[in-house]
Structure 1
Amino acid sequence: MSDVEYECEDGYALITLDRPAVYNAFHREMILELNETLRRARDDDEAYAVVLTGAGDGFCSGADVESMPDWSSLSKEEYGAYLWSVQNVVRQLRSMRKPTVAAVNGPAIGAGCDFALACDIRYVGEDAVLREGFVRIGLVPGDGGAWLLPRLIGEAKAREYLLTGKDITPDAAEELGLAAGVSSNPLASAREFAETVRDLPATAVQQTKQLVDPQQDFETHCERAIEYQWNCVNDEEHVEAVRAFSDGREPEYDREYTS
């Protein structure tokens, strides 16, 4: 893979969008690579969390218009198939059982913004910006942004940003609760978060993530909580965590990495 880098060290996966000359704007082949890389992270038994970032001074500036085909020459079905592949990046990030964290080190524009929004946690660089700028070029948010943003910051503020395409600054992102923090080194902050959740019982972490679902009603939530709690009760890492707490020591899980 030439435009998406993958590494798994120390118990978490790091996915880097690697077209720094264009602030990691993507072309069609890169989107296919990114989807494949996310599946690799999903299936990697040595990855207990996933960090997504961009090379150089950008996170992802959306689609690279210079490398895109003439959309008017495509059928609706062909265009829909391409857009589905971009949406599937968001779909995979949201459905990933492992915690995901975006290190937004620079511009996150359009679909790039949506990739960041789809992660569980975001750390934003001091010079970064998030922008749902679709309306500025006569498009609608096609990758999930108009669904994600209202659920993250509320409908009224989301409409303000979606309908104007104006920037969400680092300070605004933190104030709105969109960013876990503004950092001079967002990748370092993201790594620290990944290492924190990595060292916790994996089943509990993953099923806690699944419980955070604002779409479900309370009774469904409680039913799922019973099922997930039962899974945790019968999990070896839960047993070790309780034993370690009683012994006054750090738990020792059967992991490949050394924490």
Structure 2
Amino acid sequence: MTGDSVLLERADGVAVLTLNRPSAKNAIDIPTTDALVAALRSLRTDDDIHAVVLTGAGGDFCAGGDVKGMADGGSRTVEQRRSGMARYAELARALAALDKPLIAAVDGVAFGAGLSMALYADIVLVSTRARLAMVFHRIGLVPDVGAWYQLPRVVGMQRAKELIYSAREFGAEEALRMNLALEALAPEALMPRAMELARSLANASPTAFSLSKRALSATLQSDLETMLDMEASSQAIALSSAYFREAIRRFAAKEPAQFRWPNKD
């Protein structure tokens, strides 16, 4: 538990972070943003946690920023507002810095900053009733929580421009087609599937996962020679890990592998 607006549960190597403002469709206000950042930072250094699921309470993922709270600050200067955006920047950095598997279980609305947060997940699962949108331009704002950076890397530049400029809503099937989501599931199957994948990834090598996640984050701004050098250094580290030694022992002894990926039924 991190506070009323963000719930944190831990079990069997998996942490579940739940946005818990269902009456506001889990819109993130200042306390919620701060609680999320604190939770993500604590999970990054928690050796007992090997995978994280991010979701929302009450049938919605996150409706974005708390627009009412933004309007209440009408007397603030540009400089004060820019300073206030530091919270969203810290949230973006905390999401990007999490070098453990992050699964977003998206039900209901994922608008604005809610969709921005989902873009940081290694795996995005959506329910068949999910509604997603980069809504910022509808109210004269620009994307935040790092969406200008993340969205083109997930869906490509032209599609990112269309989603941002139009601020239109789209559903689960389109999210699958544009590779924003991996699977679409019935609402009641969403969290069980997210937990199934999280438990599987929790049994993977934390060293190999962290190295791969860092490399994949760097590859679009890099070149082949740089990535080959990173590959050599990373593989040398992975080959020296206790996880690899145990995997080889199990292979030689014909024992079941520690890591198995669950198939979708």
Q: TM-score range by the shorter chain?
A: over 0.9
- Contact 1:240–1:251 (CA under 8 A) maintained in structure 2: no
TM-align CA RMSD: 1.5
Could you tell me which amino acid in structure 1 is paired with residue 111 of structure 2?
A: I
Matching of residues 1-259 of structure 1 within 5 Å: 1-68=3-70, 70-184=72-186, 185-213=189-217, 214-251=220-257
Partner of 2:262: none
Q: By how many angstroms is 1:154 displaced?
A: 1.1
Measure the CA separation in 2 of the matches of 1:245 and 1:76.
Answer: 61
Provide closer, same or farther for how the CA distance between residues 168 and 146 of structure 1 changes in structure 2, counting only shifts above 3 A.
farther
Residue 59 (structure 1) shift: 0.3
Q: 1:162 to 1:252 in 2, by over 3 A?
A: closer
Point out where structure 2 has 5 or more consecutive residues left out of the alignment: 260-265
SS at match of 2:125: strand
Aligned length: 253
Aligned-residue sequence identity (percent) comes to 34
Distance 1:22 1:4 in 2: 13
Q: CA deviation at 1:222?
A: 1.1
Tell me how far apart the structure 1 counterparts of residues 26 and 66 of structure 2 sit (CA, whole Å). 8
C-alpha distance in 1 between matches for 2:61 and 2:153: 22
Per-residue CA deviations over 1:51-87 (Å, capped at 9, x if unaligned) read 1000011101011223346333223332123212113
Runs of 4+ in 1 over 4 A off after TM superposition: none
Do the aligned residues in 2 keep the contact of 1:26 with 1:62 (CA within 8 Å)?
A: yes
Q: Please give the alpha-carbon distance, in whole angstroms, between the structure 2 residues aligned to 1:78 and 1:69.
A: 14
Distance, in Å, in 1 between the alignment partners of 2:190 and 2:227 is 33
Q: Secondary structure at the match of 1:41?
A: helix
Q: In 2, Cα distance between the equivalents of 1:154 and 1:168? A: 16
Q: Would you say the 8 A contact 1:49–1:99 is kept in 2?
A: yes
Partner of 1:256: none
Q: 219-228 or 47-56: which moved more? A: 219-228
2-structure distance, mates of 1:106, 1:74? 33
1:225 Cα offset (Å): 1.1
The answer (yes or no) to whether the contact 1:103–1:187 under 8 Å persists in 2 is yes
Counterpart-to-counterpart distance in 1, 2:79 and 2:232: 43
Taking structure 1 as the reference length, the TM-score comes to 0.93
The answer (yes or no) to whether the contact 2:204–2:258 under 8 Å persists in 1 is no
The one-letter code matched in structure 2 to 1:245 is F
User: Would you say the 8 A contact 1:28–1:68 is kept in 2?
Assistant: no
Q: What SS is found at the alignment partner of 1:58?
A: coil
> Where do 5+ consecutive residues of structure 1 fail to align?
254-259
Task: Tell me what 2:263 maps to.
Answer: none
